[in-house]
Homo-oligomer: A and B are copies of this chain.
Amino acid sequence: MQKRDANGLTEQEFLAAYRPGDYVRPSVACDMVIFTVTDTETSSYRKNPDKELRVLLIERGGHPCLGEWALPGGFVNPNENTEHAAKRELKEEAGVENIYLEQLYTFSDPNRDPRTWVMSCSYMALVDSANLRIQAGDDADKAAWFQLSFKQGYDDSTEFLGGVRRIRRYALELTSDDTRLSAIVEHSRVISKNCSEEDFRIVENNGLAFDHAKILTYALLRLQGKLDYSGIVMHLMPELFTLSELQRVYEVILGKTLLKAAFRRKIAPLVTETEQFTQNAGHRPSRLYKVNWQGIR
């Protein structure tokens, strides 16, 4: 291409002479919401264990937010894109590779980090807990898998001239062996012709670093929203699983129970039956299935 600009330069000449300005640039970090699903302890030899949703957090060893728990993450390096950075962090901080990864949202409020201007490009990752052979946080940082409870509380729509404002509050509770964290995040949305605002606000926060309660809420809503039309859950399942297990995973993420017959009809195209069965369960054995990746959208 030999086009010349207003100064008579070709593109090659322009780029050779180009010097980036010295205006202020943000740092860009990747923060990762890594979900997995684990079994609870079961009380009786007969009872199947319940499923619980867990997320990986890391205790901050320095200011700011010293002693609070943060999503694993780190800065994006030059010569890599955010996805590379996310994968690198995933390996370094959680010891996992080759798992489901999806970009969520870029959080960019200028004061979200008290040190300096840091944007966070957030990612959601899903891991089968059987895949977690490497214990998270081998290094100095203290890492832990927190069990997550996510409940919608306050919910209100107020109408105004030509529009609606919808406010919902979500209560997050996170528990690990020795730590309990909690947060309340308010999601408000103005829906009208002349305005379109969506906002997450941290109403209450006990022990979560930065704006990570927001990011976590965003991730949970995305996960819930994707559940029924995409086969995203399959990334949380082990190689072989029973349909009841799969149903319990859906249930723990959605926070409600589902009807067995309807559930099975719906997920039928997403799974393939095997000839293997569970054993020693204290009740009728259950057929084991594997994921039918063709059926996943």
A contact set with B: CB distance below 8 Å: 3, 5-6, 9-11, 14-15, 18, 20, 23-28, 61-64, 66-67, 75-76, 78-83, 98-103, 105-106, 108-110, 114-117, 119, 121, 128, 157, 159, 162-164, 191-196, 198, 234-235, 239, 291, 293-294, 296
Contacts and interface: CB of A to CB of B under 8 A. Distances in A.
Contact of A191 (B11, B61, B78, B296): B296
Contacts of A239: 193
Given A24-B78, A191-B293, 14 more contacts: A5-B62, A6-B62, A11-B114, A15-B64, A28-B28, A78-B117, A82-B108, A83-B108, A98-B194, A106-B106, A191-B296, A193-B234, A193-B291, A193-B293
Contacts of A75: 23
B116 A20 contact: yes
Contacts of A196: 98-102, 235
Contacts of A296: 164, 191
Chain multiplicity (copies) = 2
Contacts of A5: 61-63, 66
A110 B79 contact: yes
B98 A121 contact: no
List of 3 A-B pairs having minimum Cβ-Cβ separation, nearest first = A14-B63, A25-B25, A100-B196
Contacts of A162: 293
Given A80-B110, A98-B195, A119 B28 contact: yes
Contacts of A20: 27, 115-116
A125 to B, nearest CB: 9
Contacts of A119: 28, 82
B157 A294 contact: yes
A162 B162 CA distance: 51
Most central of A28, A79, A114, A294 by chain B CB within 10 Å: A28
A256 to B, nearest CB: 18
Contacts of A10: 63
Given A82-B106, A194-B98, A114 B64 contact: no
9 contacts: A11-B66, A14-B63, A18-B116, A25-B27, A79-B110, A100-B196, A128-B193, A192-B293, A193-B293
